[in-house]
Amino acid sequence: MADRSKSPDGVLSAPLSPRHVAIIMDGNGRWAAERGLPRAAGHKAGVEAVRRTVKAAIELSIPCLTLYSFSSENWSRPRDEIDYLMGLMKRFIRGDLAELHQNNVKILVIGERSDIDQEMLALIDEACDLTRDNTRLTLTIAFNYGARNEITRAAQRLAEDVAAGRLSPSEITVDHFRLALDTGDLPDPDMLIRTSGERRLSNFLLWQSAYTELVFLDAYWPDFGRELLIEAITQYNSRERRFGGLPSRSTA
């Protein structure tokens, strides 16, 4: 079990960081409602939490950070809220891309590209192309994303390979399927955090999270940052990951 240790000045250092942290950013609307503010204010504050979290991930040497920004089910929200969220995403890319690139952050965007307007697609492609060779942090944005849709699209890709004679059904392995997913180039998440007190995955990284440690925090997403990230990592480090086996120190 890893733990925090004291630095020479007596301050607790951050715990050892996992390789890949995924986050369901939940609670923007409730954060705003509790303050008598419109939902848009919560979403705007949520963007600031994204900036704090990316900065903290870099400082804590986390190689991969995946954020659930807009689900395929979110299209059922009111049109004005959707338009505001799309505008926030565009402004984030335009306003933060240069700094992210300067900080050696690689950007990936996963999810279904249908229903996304051409301006947004162009911005996404620009961000991914500009940062493709960066190595300090891989920031993956799950946008218009749903895990069931992702798994279905992966199955369709493999079916196309079978139909074209490039692969036989008996040759399909877990690794084939993993590589066909949107996250094929990423390690599976070691830890998945959900804010706002909700305790469900909400169609996020269902395949990839088979052995992921789940951490549920009561704080709303706009209040998230370095301190809460360290709290979650501390929880993660207190657990013993067995992947279906026995602990290594066990004599059973």
Question: Among 236, 192, 229, 189, which residue's Cα sits nearest to residue 49?
Answer: 229
pLDDT at residue 249 in the model:
41
Residue 31, domain CATH:
3.40.1180.10
- Please give the sequence-ordered ranges of beta strands (E in DSSP) within 76-132, or none if there are none: 105-110
Residues annotated within a binding site for substrate: 27-31, 39, 43, 71-73, 75, 77, 194, 200-202
How far, in Å, CA of 100 to CA of 13, rounded? Answer: 25
pLDDT at residue 114, rounded to an integer:
86
Alpha-carbon gap, residue 146 to 206, rounded angstroms: 9
Helix (H/G/I), strand (E/B), else coil: 239: coil
Is 183 inside a domain boundary?
no
The answer to whether residue 250 is domain-embedded is: no
Residue 155 lies in a domain: no
Looking at residue 241, what is its pLDDT?
Answer: 78
Q: In terms of residue numbers, what domain contains 88?
A: 20-146+189-237
Report the pLDDT value the prediction gives residue 247, as an integer from 0 to 100. Answer: 59
How many structural domains does the chain have?
1
Write the CA distances from 154 to 28, 167, 183, integer angstroms: 31, 14, 11
Active-site residue list = 26, 74
Per-residue model confidence (pLDDT) at position 14: 64
Q: Is 52 among the domain residues?
A: yes
**Is 123 domain-assigned?**
yes
Residue 171 included in any domain: no
Q: What is the pLDDT of residue 250?
A: 32
Distance CA 118, CA 140 (A): 20
Which stretches of the chain score pLDDT less than 50? 1-12, 248-252
- Look up tokens 């798994």; give the residue: 151
Burial of 34 per CB tally in 10 Å (0-12, 13-18, 19+): exposed
